[in-house]
C-alpha cells in the first residue's frame, strides 16, 4: 500500500475529464491536480516549450510527494512524454499509449491540437499495436479556447464543431479518438454532428484503467476505504478554475491553491 497522492497535470481544465475517469475507477485515491492556465494553450507551442513547461510541473508534483504522475494533456503526452520518462524516475502515465493498445477498428479518426496532430504520435502509437488500422487525423485548434473561455454550451459551439468535423462525413471511420482532454467536454456536440453510429473514445478512460492495473500490480493502492480528496493547483485565475472544478466535483471534496510558474 502507498497512501501518497496521484499527481495529474494539464494545460488547463481539460484534464479534469481525465481526473473524473480516475475517480470512477480509483475513488479511494487522493489526487493533486495542476492546471497550467497561465500558459495555455499548449497546442500552438513548440515541442521545446511544452517539454520545459511539463518538466517544471513534474518537478512541482514530485515536491508534493506524489507516487505517480498522469499527463492529462494530449499535447504534453505527444510532445513531452518520452522526455519526461527519460529525465524522471517516478512512474509517468500518458493518455496516448494506454488508448492505442486498445484500438481494434479498421478505420479510426483522431482529433487533437495542431501540435499533437503534427507530431503523428497517435498514428505511430496505434500502428505499434494495430499496424493495419487506417488513421485519419484532424487538428481542431478552436476547441480548447471554446472550453477554456466557457463557451462549451454556447450556440456558437455547434457551428465551430460542424466546420471542423464535416470533414469526417466524407471519410469512412467507425470511431473517433478525442485526442485532447478538453474535447470530452464537447462530447455531446461532437456526437450530434457525427451521428450515434460513430463511437467516441475518451483516452482518459484507458489511462485510468492502465493506472489501476499498475497500482494493483505494484501494491501501490491507497489503504483508505473512504473516498479520497483532491487538491487543485492553478497557475492563474483561481476563481475561474474553482468555477469550472465545481461542475465536475462535489465542492466539499477539494481545495484550490495558486502556484505561479516561471515562463
Active-site positions? 73, 180
- Among left, alpha and beta (phi > 0; psi -120 to 50; other), residue 65 is left
Task: Give the single-character DSSP code of 262.
Answer: -
Which candidate, 68, 20, 73, places its Cα nearest to that of 51? 73
What does 79-121 look like in DSSP terms, one character per residue?
A: HHHHHHHHH--S-EE-SHHHHHTT---SEEEEEE-HHHHHHTH
Tell me which residue has cell 469512412. 172
Number of Cα atoms under 13 Å in the Cβ half of residue 169 = 12
Which candidate, 56, 133, 62, 113, places its Cα nearest to that of 91? 62
Cβ neighbour number for residue 178 with a 10 Å cutoff: 28
DSSP3 helix / strand / coil % (the chain, rounded to 5): 45, 15, 40
Q: Which residues contact 122 (CB under 8 A, 6 or more apart)?
A: 78, 96, 100, 110, 112, 116, 135, 137, 177, 179
Which candidate, 112, 109, 33, places its Cα nearest to that of 75? 112
Contact 91, 81 (CB under 8 A): no
Amino acid at each position: 500500500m502507498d497512501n501518497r497522492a496521484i499527481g495529474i497535470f494539464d494545460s488547463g481544465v481539460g484534464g479534469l475529464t481525465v481526473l473524473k475517469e480516475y475517480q470512477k475507477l480509483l475513488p479511494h485515491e487522493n489526487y493533486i491536480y495542476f492546471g497550467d492556465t497561465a500558459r495555455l494553450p499548449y497546442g500552438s507551442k513548440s515541442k521545446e516549450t511544452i517539454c520545459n513547461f511539463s518538466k517544471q510541473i513534474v518537478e512541482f508534483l514530485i515536491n508534493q510527494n506524489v507516487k505517480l504522475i498522469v499527463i492529462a494533456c494530449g499535447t504534453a503526452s505527444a510532445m513531452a512524454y518520452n522526455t519526461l520518462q527519460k529525465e524522471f524516475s517516478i512512474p509517468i502515465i500518458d493518455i496516448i499509449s494506454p488508448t492505442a493498445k486498445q484500438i481494434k477498428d479498421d478505420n479510426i479518426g483522431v482529433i487533437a491540437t495542431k501540435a499533437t496532430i503534427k507530431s503523428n504520435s497517435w498514428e505511430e502509437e496505434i500502428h505499434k499495436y494495430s499496424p493495419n488500422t487506417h488513421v485519419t487525423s484532424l487538428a481542431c485548434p478552436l476547441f480548447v479556447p471554446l472550453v477554456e473561455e466557457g463557451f462549451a454550451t454556447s450556440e456558437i459551439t455547434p457551428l465551430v464543431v460542424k466546420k471542423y468535423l464535416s470533414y469526417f462525413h466524407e471519410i469512412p471511420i467507425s470511431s473517433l479518438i478525442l485526442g485532447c482532454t478538453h474535447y470530452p467536454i464537447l462530447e455531446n456536440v461532437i456526437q450530434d454532428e457525427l451521428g450515434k453510429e460513430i463511437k467516441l473514445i475518451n483516452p482518459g478512460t484507458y489511462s485510468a484503467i492502465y493506472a489501476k492495473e499498475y497500482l494493483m500490480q505494484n501494491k501501490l493502492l491507497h489503504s483508505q476505504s473512504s473516498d479520497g480528496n483532491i487538491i487543485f493547483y492553478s497557475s492563474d485565475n483561481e476563481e475561474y478554475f474553482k468555477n469550472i472544478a465545481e461542475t465536475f466535483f462535489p465542492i466539499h471534496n477539494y481545495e484550490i491553491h495558486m502556484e505561479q510558474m516561471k515562463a
